[in-house]
Structure 1
Amino acid sequence: MKRIVVVLGDYYHPKEWINASLDHALGLLNENEKVECVEVQTSQLSEELAKKPDAVILFKEDRINPTDEKVDTWMNEEIGEAIFRYVDQGGGWLGWHSGLASYDINSSYTKLLKGHFEYHPVQHSQVKYTGIQGNDVFGPVSFDLLDEHYFVKVKEEETNVFLKSESEDGHSIAGWYHHYGKGKVCCLTPAHNKEGLLNENFTQLLARTIEWVGR
């Protein structure tokens, strides 16, 4: 049985929508492969990583209280190093949407991802997500969502870009993956809204990324 640890939800991203998306994606995985999905709090993450799960999914930004004058964060150096060791020793990591956001760009975590969120326009827009021709690790991809259009900075020469995004606000990278040490890392920028999170084309892509990091 595969064991997947998930850390989900933050101030701007209701956990219920993310869980619904994740449940649907997990239901699309190979029926012969049973998956145990365990949701933990950030305070429990280091302990769970030591148990060497098959994969970890993070959909949670670093800021705990983003609207306050004094903003606190949860990922300290100790947790970042625990994540780094986990992946380096063979773990699988999926940084999903806000799991890429507001983390220190000089941290071991961001270096592991080889990319980070920079900004998104205030207004949501119709975003077209398209797979990169010739990179079919996650199959052919093409779908449109009313979404937060994430603009990210990625070290393209050190990873494999498989998904791009386009809206009236411009173009960006929307998905990339690489091996790190003995482990695997995949980053995915969609989706923000309930409708996007439950979009059939998106959940099929999500399922394939989960399968890859947990393989």
Structure 2
Amino acid sequence: MQDTIDSETSESPMKGQASIRPRLLLLGDNARALWHPLAPVKEQLDAMLGSAFDIFVSEDYDALASLHERDYDALLSYADCWESKLTPEQTAGLLRFVSQGGGLLVIHNGISLQVSYELAQVIGAKFIGHPPYQPLTYVRAAFDHPLLEGVSDFTVEEEPYRFELDTFTPRRILLEFDYEGARYPAAWEHPYGLGRVVYLQPGHCAASFQPASYRRLIVNSLRWVSTRLQARD
């Protein structure tokens, strides 16, 4: 049984029109995707998010250059841009957006934004490779965290992404996965300026989004990053 919250998907925000729903920009690739096309994942997101969010979709990375928190509450990166290079303007736009209070949720290959070293620091880690696609068990690593409300341990076939964690990031690990007798980080959150950042490792294909607990975690994460941190005095 799938978790559903109600959905509406649009192409671009309507300037000047008030909305009581958080506005989410979904960034990814279809024709240019190397391994992870956006379309099947967008269908899963539409099904689970429902009318709780206004979703705007872009395959144009220039959207990052003009990204502003007055237009969107959060960016969801499902970018598959491993062999591309972001322009300084695109990188600066996303840095500005998050530091000024916009949210960032990065799912699976969305970490390919690490082609910009500045964005690897924002995400809090760098992808360094993965063993073969296989069943993985994900276990909670922070039972008292609000992002894990309604989330249980789950098993799904997935690519066991491995990371080099940024030592300066004050992250909170949310999920870990078991592999060959050891546990590795699979999800985390941290602040960045006035914004919130969450990374979730599962997401190789549409089937990755089927476990009810993972669907709940995605919804929780989007609500979390869509809430701005208060500026310190």
TM over 0.5: yes
- List gaps (5 residues or longer) in structure 1: 64-71
Q: 1:135 to 1:174 in 2, by over 3 A?
A: farther
Q: Is the 8 A contact 2:109 2:203 kept in 1?
A: no
Q: 1:194 to 1:115 in 2, by over 3 A?
A: same
Map 1:106-117; keep pairs closer than 5 Å.
Answer: 107-117=117-127
**Displacement of 1:169 after TM fit?**
7.9
Residue 27 (structure 2) pairs with residue 4 (structure 1): no
Query: Which residue of 2 is the match for residue 129 of structure 1?
Result: 138
Q: 1:50 to 1:3 in 2, by over 3 A?
A: closer
Residue 67 (structure 2) pairs with residue 58 (structure 1): no
Residue 50 (structure 2) pairs with residue 40 (structure 1): no
Whole-Å Cα distance in 1 between the matches of residues 226 and 176 of structure 2? 23
Q: Is the 8 A contact 1:129 1:142 kept in 2?
A: yes
TM-score by length of 2: 0.78
Q: Is the 8 A contact 1:21 1:203 kept in 2?
A: no
The letter of the residue matching 1:54 is D
**Displacement of 1:133 after TM fit?**
3.8
Task: Give the aligned length.
Answer: 200
Whole-Å Cα distance in 2 between the matches of residues 83 and 49 of structure 1? 9
Whole-Å Cα distance in 2 between the matches of residues 90 and 50 of structure 1? 7
The letter of the residue matching 1:126 is P
**Displacement of 1:102 after TM fit?**
6.5
Residue 164 of structure 2 is aligned with which of 153, 157, 160? 153
Q: Alpha-carbon deviations, 1:70-124, whole Å to 9, x = none?
A: xx514222211111111111110011111113723x7211111111211111x21
Runs (4+) of structure 1 exceeding 6 A deviation are none
Query: Which residue of 1 is the match for residue 128 of structure 2?
Result: 118
Whole-Å Cα distance in 2 between the matches of residues 176 and 203 of structure 1? 16
**Displacement of 1:25 after TM fit?**
2.6
**Displacement of 1:135 after TM fit?**
3.8
TM-score by length of 1: 0.84
Q: Is the 8 A contact 2:142 2:175 kept in 1?
A: no
Map 1:138-149; keep pairs closer than 5 Å.
Answer: 138=147, 139=149, 140-149=151-160
Q: Is the 8 A contact 1:128 1:166 kept in 2?
A: yes
Q: Share of identical aligned residues, percent?
A: 21
Q: Is the 8 A contact 2:79 2:113 kept in 1?
A: no
Residue 211 (structure 2) pairs with residue 199 (structure 1): yes
Query: Which residue of 1 is the match for residue 16 of structure 2?
Result: none
The letter of the residue matching 1:119 is G
